[in-house]
Structure 1
């Protein structure tokens, strides 16, 4: 039990049984994938594959399937790695109905990207550009079109580089901020509390990092006086003349009305879009509700410029399934077009039967009080299953399921990356790829892992290879 090889075998057993439980949870249903790549602590490129599916209780789930090391990030290498992962877990690319990535060319390229390679093999695997990523890009694009706001972010970047140029400056910034907080607490301008006023530093904004611009602006507002103090110290005590002149210019800029106004104005805008970004990152978020949120925030036009034509048609059809206001947006013609986008799921005979079944479904939804006041497509799916109506309207239930598995955002992949940095940290940076995958699967899907019986894991362990002793149930504990 103290042998590292035994530990690795046990972790491997836990991961395999957890993945098997996930595959059983998904059953024979269709699914989508969310894929992204990033380097780990040992600077090895890792690709993460997350499945999005609707389980037997009609709940939308996003589960980590696998993480694997890739030699390069070209589209063909990613496609080969996905094929290998699918083969390992007994999945078929013909069951794929959606793919969600960010906007990188190797992922979303129209001709040679991963999206294109999968679509050539399965034309029903609809591509969705991560909504949270699109929102961030749209906000940055709109902000930089305004001269005043563009100048603001340029100035913020310069000040961040200047104030964060040395450990001495960073320490001075934190000390000044700490003193200011204590003074304001003493005169009761602020009320204390657990977890408030924690140590912070200036953050650099990134065009593709969700929420990074809001974080930068928020820290600037909170540490405004402390930043002025540090710039003043640099201007007085700095050794390099150019740095001293830069500090004086930035100090004058920060105390200008236009800079302060722009800073607070951008905070109000980014605070609004951050609420939307957080809503889009929910695991059970569906496409129809995401589109409704975007319309609510009146930024759909900028996002429409980034949608491919096929995706725009798909979204137009999906909007007709909204159950709000007694299915006021229900449109039979558009829903038929939605079914036509999935030729592998609707044959010619089913397309003929689809229209009359839609009419009966609409009548049920508007007459049966069980279906009143539903807010999302997922709620419709659950009610159809609970009442047994999914058996009477199988052709209507099918596109509802297809819509639910379409990915909204790659937030689940980003959460895996965060966990990867916790598991493979500086002290464990020599961890092998297989052990990293096994630990991540057990950690990320711990709700499934905790439901496994110890006996199942022990039996798998005993069947791996002959052992001198048999492990008992008491020998392992989750």
Structure 2
């Protein structure tokens, strides 16, 4: 052990040996003296950027930044997935017709939310009911609801002119004859036939058709009940097509065991008859898209109540819409191809290389 110089001269006893040359040398001492260690600590203090706590904090900040970048990218990818889901729904409908199912309810934070579901027949003849969004509305007046619906449809490149059916509850703001949502949409499109969600007559017709084994014959007996919704100029052509189609079906074994008009729709597409009898198929689609109940919308509200609970009542409107879309449209979400998402990411901004 070397001599440990230094003492508490500067703090208690004072330093009075200035005239002795070796006094400072003795005070400084060796490498492990009190003076040397104090000087080392002073230098460390002056070089704060190299201090271990500063270095660790800097690394933590860098990791935090990287985490935020990864989180931001994950959110972007998730929203691109949702946009791809909506795009797939929009492409399925394209310029075809659909029915509108709407209902509104308050969430756990007492905010009025409106769920929108579209009912349509896809290119394969299958009836689909797709949730396209939940919208926070400041009030439940019919005009406010109409404007919100128009905004959602426009954002998905759809329009009121494509609506052939609308289904709501019996509240006056929804089904009022003069100033309800039904009336406002009918002013935009007089072909948007309104069906109360408790319209059991249409439901009984569908059930009756579904129970018949000789579904084709019964189908045409029931379908004549809704022929009056077709433009009069098509009546003669439609009647002619119906008769020809009927006789072609009774001679085709594939049409002898139908269980309902939805099966007839799919079978017409798979056999190509929807191209030969377009008016019959159009009438069939109109019958299929007319909604009977708003069960799909109610299921969306049930999902919303599971997502937005008391512990998570500060969820924003956009996040709620995205989360609800993921939970409701799981079938469409699974079908999203990774390549399509990567292609959309690639188009977002210029990149050094292709993904």
Q: Same fold (TM over 0.5)?
A: yes
> Which stretch shows the higher mean deviation, 440-449 or 82-91?
440-449
Q: Which residue of structure 2 lines up, in the alignment, with residue 2 of structure 1?
A: 67
Q: Aligned equivalents of 1:128 and 1:323: distance in 2?
A: 28
Q: Aligned equivalents of 1:25 and 1:323: distance in 2?
A: 31
Q: Aligned equivalents of 2:102 and 2:325: distance in 1?
A: 15
Q: Aligned equivalents of 1:458 and 1:371: distance in 2?
A: 44
> Which stretch shows the higher mean deviation, 9-18 or 108-117?
9-18
Q: Aligned equivalents of 1:355 and 1:463: distance in 2?
A: 50
Displacement after TM superposition at 1:463 (Å): 4.5
Counterpart selection for 1:359 from 243, 264, 267: 243
Q: Aligned equivalents of 2:113 and 2:157: distance in 1?
A: 22
Q: Which residue of structure 2 lines up, in the alignment, with residue 453 of structure 1?
A: 337
For 2:220, what is the secondary structure of its paired residue?
Answer: coil
Q: In the TM superposition, what are the counterparts of 1:107-256 in structure 2 within 5 Å?
A: 107-131=174-198
Counterpart selection for 1:67 from 116, 134, 138: 134
Counterpart selection for 1:431 from 315, 318, 321: 315
Aligned CA RMSD, in angstroms, stands at 2.8
Q: Which residue of structure 2 lines up, in the alignment, with residue 327 of structure 1?
A: 217
Residues 307-331 of structure 1: per-residue CA shift (max 9 Å, x gap)? xxxxxxxxxxxx7xx8746514634
Residues 254-313 of structure 1: per-residue CA shift (max 9 Å, x gap)? xxxxxxxxxxxxxxxxxxxxxxxxxxxxxxxxx8554354x7xxxxxxxxxxxxxxxxxx
Displacement after TM superposition at 1:457 (Å): 2.6
Displacement after TM superposition at 1:356 (Å): 1.6
2:226 aligned with 1:338: yes
2:260 aligned with 1:372: no
Counterpart selection for 2:305 from 421, 432, 440: 421
Counterpart selection for 2:99 from 15, 27, 32: 32
For 1:42, what is the secondary structure of its paired residue?
Answer: coil
Q: Aligned equivalents of 2:350 and 2:308: distance in 1?
A: 30
Q: Aligned equivalents of 1:103 and 1:351: distance in 2?
A: 33
Equivalent residues of 2:206, 2:260 under 8 A apart: no
Equivalent residues of 2:206, 2:261 under 8 A apart: no
Whichever of the two has the greater Rg, that structure is: 2
Q: Go from structure 1 to structure 2 and tell me whether the alpha carbon gap of 1:459 and 1:363 turns closer, same or farther (over 3 Å shift).
A: closer
Equivalent residues of 1:324, 1:374 under 8 A apart: yes
Q: In the TM superposition, what are the counterparts of 1:392-431 in structure 2 within 5 Å?
A: 392-431=276-315
Equivalent residues of 1:326, 1:365 under 8 A apart: yes
Displacement after TM superposition at 1:465 (Å): 6.0
Residues 346-379 of structure 1: per-residue CA shift (max 9 Å, x gap)? x62x332222222112212222221112121111
Q: Which residue of structure 1 lines up, in the alignment, with residue 328 of structure 2?
A: 444
TM-score relative to the length of structure 2: 0.73
2:155 aligned with 1:94: no
Q: Go from structure 1 to structure 2 and tell me whether the alpha carbon gap of 1:387 and 1:291 turns closer, same or farther (over 3 Å shift).
A: same
Residues 216-260 of structure 1: per-residue CA shift (max 9 Å, x gap)? xxxxxxxxxxxxxxxxxxxxxxxxxxxxxxxxxxxxxxxxxxxxx
TM-score relative to the length of structure 1: 0.55
Q: Go from structure 1 to structure 2 and tell me whether the alpha carbon gap of 1:330 and 1:457 turns closer, same or farther (over 3 Å shift).
A: closer
Greater RCO (CA < 8 Å, at least 6 residues apart): 1
Residues 4-43 of structure 1: per-residue CA shift (max 9 Å, x gap)? 6545433322211111111112233211111001112221
Q: Aligned equivalents of 1:105 and 1:323: distance in 2?
A: 41
Q: Which residue of structure 1 lines up, in the alignment, with residue 115 of structure 2?
A: 48
2:175 aligned with 1:291: no
For 1:330, what is the secondary structure of its paired residue?
Answer: helix
* Number of aligned residue pairs: 287
Q: Aligned equivalents of 1:417 and 1:89: distance in 2?
A: 21
Name stretches of at least 5 consecutive residues in structure 2 with no aligned partner.
1-65
Q: Go from structure 1 to structure 2 and tell me whether the alpha carbon gap of 1:405 and 1:109 turns closer, same or farther (over 3 Å shift).
A: same
For 1:2, what is the secondary structure of its paired residue?
Answer: helix
Q: Which residue of structure 2 lines up, in the alignment, with residue 257 of structure 1?
A: none
